[in-house]
Chains A and B, each alone.
Chain A
Amino acid sequence: MRTDVTVVFLVFFLLVTVLGFIAARWRQGDLDRLDEWGLAGRRFGTIVTWFLLGGDLYTAYTFIAVPALVFGAGAIGFFAVPYTLLAFPIAFLVFPRLWSVSHRHGYITAADFVSGRFGSRSLALAVAITGILATMPYIALQLVGIEVVIAAMGFTASGLAGDLPLIIAFVILAAYTYNSGLRAPALIALVKDVLIYITVIAAVIVIPLHLGGYAAIFHSIPQTRLLLAPSLPNNLGASSAYATLALGSALALFLYPHAVTGLLSARSRDVIRRNMALLPAYSIALAMIAALGFMAVAANVAAKPAYAAYFARYGPNFAVPALFLDQFPGWFVGVAFAAIAIGALVPAAIMSIAAANLFTRNIYRDLFHRSLSGAAEATAAKRVSLVIKLGALAFILLLPSQYAIELQLLGGVWIIQTLPAILIGVFTPWFRGRALTLGWLTGMAAGTAMVASLQFKSSTYPLHLGGLIVPGYAALYSVILNLIVAAAATLVMNALGVTRAPDETSPEDYR
């Protein structure tokens, strides 16, 4: 066990645990109400929202997986940069409208909005189920982030003793989320992001000094990994994969329940608009974090005997922890590892709250308990958040982490199927509810089939267009199919003169 690393790590972990419980009293509200527990009373201003969304969207898994992909596969891993670059202008145009209509009608989830807009219970249910399905493996993946840094500190015992640190971390997380709701991750996000920025800035200055500068780092990367493979006459190859991964991921990002929860907790639509111009600061940090993957190649960490056992167990996901252990003094490794672990707790808390809101509102209440409201609703959501976290914990402890990675891959393909109902739904009520449900079903089936045809190892589907092969993100391909089906079904329903379900929102609600 690395004592210096562990002591610093534990100090920060203790600090955020205390903060998590104190958070209940921060901007105090009645935590027996769902919008107080699950949306912190919709009272967050620009700065808190900036930290909350930053902590929410740039997860621990991002900090581990993006550089791991760059480390293992090279240039393709950098798609995270155009991805987050595109996400904010899209969100700028769409989400102030969703905030306004949700504020006016008391919507807590995206499924609430869909239900009001299209008057379709089946569509709202589809949106809720998709959200929960996409979120569960995402929570599990946050645990992989914690697991890797705990192991890197030298806790390598097998069996229950080895799992114990992770279990303790998660029980603490579950307790303060139950107690404080969305206020806990919001307060903890402040600490997390300060630690992340310190770590990233130190890393991009200190590590290149050790490795002979950026020119030397990029010089050590094999040519085939430094750039994307050029297109062939009959195959667009890595180029179309890169572009569609970026665009598809950008369109999907804010459809995730934890993103919607973060946005709806803002005090005003102006807070959201301002944040979309300010959040790219995290994208700059992400570009630097991606570069850590190349630094790990240049430092040749994979060849060092001290890390061999870890690389055998965690694969490229160990690149960043190994780089830090190799390059930083022990106490600063503690800071960096605390940043990653706390970076897992923040999104895990928000994701479990978001999934709990969806389950309570749009599945439990709508299907089984129509009169559920007030304190009973909030209590149900708190309990569901516990169940969701326990489920994620069991998932990681009992199944190979490869399953969580594959399911999260599918999660992106699934969540984008709610795009026509939510992203387009805030602009126009033109689509019919049932038509959207049919489109959703088609998109879910097609997207899953595409990923299944790749043995769940990749989401880059080789689409054949005549003689040309266009490898692209299955999410983007399947949502296009979804849109075509939804549009066609709407036209058919219009032609048949089927009566429209009432839209409870009016154009003024979106301003």
Chain B
Amino acid sequence: MNAGSPTHGRRLFACLLFTIIAAIALWVPLYNRVEPSLFGVPFFYWFQTVWILVAAAATALAYRLGV
């Protein structure tokens, strides 16, 4: 994988995507709240559960891109 090759660019993109997702998952003040709640489930709980799907989608995308 040489620098400048298409794979290198895609790899960089995937790493950037993962970093953003991880930063949000670790930024506790962002989601440490009750509202907006969903069907009575506090934001803290449903947001992190939805975030699993976002991380999985990003990993699937990286797989598709051949990273």
Minimum C-beta distance from A229 to chain B (A) = 9
Is there an interface contact between B25 and A214, defined as CB atoms closer than 8 Å?
no
Residues of B1-58 at the interface with A, using a CB-CB cut-off of 8 Å, are: 1, 14-15, 18, 21-22, 25-29, 32-34, 37, 39-42, 44-45, 48-49, 51-53, 55-56, 58
Whole-angstrom distance between the alpha carbons of A78 and B49 in the complex?
10
Minimum C-beta distance from A186 to chain B (A) = 23
Stretch of A87-95, A173-181, A392-400, A408-416 with 4 or more beta carbons under 8 angstroms from chain B: A87-95
Whole-angstrom distance between the alpha carbons of A240 and B44 in the complex?
15
Classify the interface of chain A: helix, strand, loop or mixed.
Answer: helix
**Chain B residues in 8 Å Cβ range of A274:** 63
Is there an interface contact between B44 and A227, defined as CB atoms closer than 8 Å?
yes
A287 at the interface (CB under 8 A from B): yes
User: Contacts A88-B59, A89-B55; is A242 near B28 (CB within 8 Å)?
Assistant: yes
Count of residues in A whose CB is under 8 Å from the partner chain: 43
Is there an interface contact between A280 and B53, defined as CB atoms closer than 8 Å?
yes
Is there an interface contact between B60 and A277, defined as CB atoms closer than 8 Å?
yes
Whole-angstrom distance between the alpha carbons of A429 and B34 in the complex?
47
Is there an interface contact between B40 and A246, defined as CB atoms closer than 8 Å?
no
**Chain B residues in 8 Å Cβ range of A283:** 52, 56
| Contact of A284 (CB < 8 Å), options: B34, B42, B52 | B52
Is there an interface contact between A93 and B28, defined as CB atoms closer than 8 Å?
no
A273 at the interface (CB under 8 A from B): yes
Chain B residue with the shortest CB-CB distance to A291? B45
Is there an interface contact between A287 and B49, defined as CB atoms closer than 8 Å?
yes
**Chain A residues in 8 Å Cβ range of B1:** 511
Chain B residue with the shortest CB-CB distance to A216? B40
Whole-angstrom distance between the alpha carbons of A124 and B1 in the complex?
28
**Chain B residues in 8 Å Cβ range of A243:** 26-28
A168 at the interface (CB under 8 A from B): no
**Chain B residues in 8 Å Cβ range of A240:** 28
* Residue of B14, B44, B55 with highest tally of chain A CB at under 10 A: B55
Is there an interface contact between B21 and A89, defined as CB atoms closer than 8 Å?
yes
Is there an interface contact between A227 and B34, defined as CB atoms closer than 8 Å?
yes
User: Contacts A89-B59, A93-B18, A214-B40; is A228 near B32 (CB within 8 Å)?
Assistant: yes
A247 at the interface (CB under 8 A from B): yes
Is there an interface contact between B52 and A227, defined as CB atoms closer than 8 Å?
no
Chain A residue with the shortest CB-CB distance to B15? A93
**Chain B residues in 8 Å Cβ range of A511:** 1
Is there an interface contact between A215 and B40, defined as CB atoms closer than 8 Å?
yes
Chain A residue with the shortest CB-CB distance to B56? A280
Whole-angstrom distance between the alpha carbons of A423 and B48 in the complex?
26
Minimum C-beta distance from A33 to chain B (A) = 32
**Chain B residues in 8 Å Cβ range of A167:** none
Is there an interface contact between B40 and A219, defined as CB atoms closer than 8 Å?
yes
| Contact of A228 (CB < 8 Å), options: B28, B53, B67 | B28
| Contact of A81 (CB < 8 Å), options: B39, B40, B49 | B49
Chain B residue with the shortest CB-CB distance to A273? B63
Minimum C-beta distance from A472 to chain B (A) = 12
**Chain A residues in 8 Å Cβ range of B14:** 93
Is there an interface contact between B26 and A82, defined as CB atoms closer than 8 Å?
yes
Chain B residue with the shortest CB-CB distance to A81? B48
Chain A residue with the shortest CB-CB distance to B11? A93
Whole-angstrom distance between the alpha carbons of A189 and B12 in the complex?
36
**Chain A residues in 8 Å Cβ range of B59:** 88-89, 92, 276-277, 280
**Chain A residues in 8 Å Cβ range of B26:** 82, 86, 243, 246-247
* Residue of A82, A274, A276 with highest tally of chain B CB at under 10 A: A82
Whole-angstrom distance between the alpha carbons of A283 and B52 in the complex?
7
Residues of A within 8 A of B (CB): 75, 78, 81-82, 84-86, 88-90, 92-93, 213-219, 226-228, 230-231, 238-240, 242-243, 246-247, 273-274, 276-278, 280-281, 283-284, 287, 291, 511
Listed from nearest, the 8 A-B pairs whose CB atoms lie closest are A215-B40, A280-B56, A277-B60, A239-B28, A277-B59, A243-B26, A89-B18, A287-B49
Q: A217-B40, A511-B1 are in contact. List 4 more A-B contacts (CB 8 A).
A: A85-B51, A89-B58, A276-B59, A276-B63
10 CB < 8 A contacts A-B: A81-B49, A82-B25, A82-B48, A84-B52, A89-B59, A93-B18, A218-B41, A226-B44, A227-B34, A284-B53
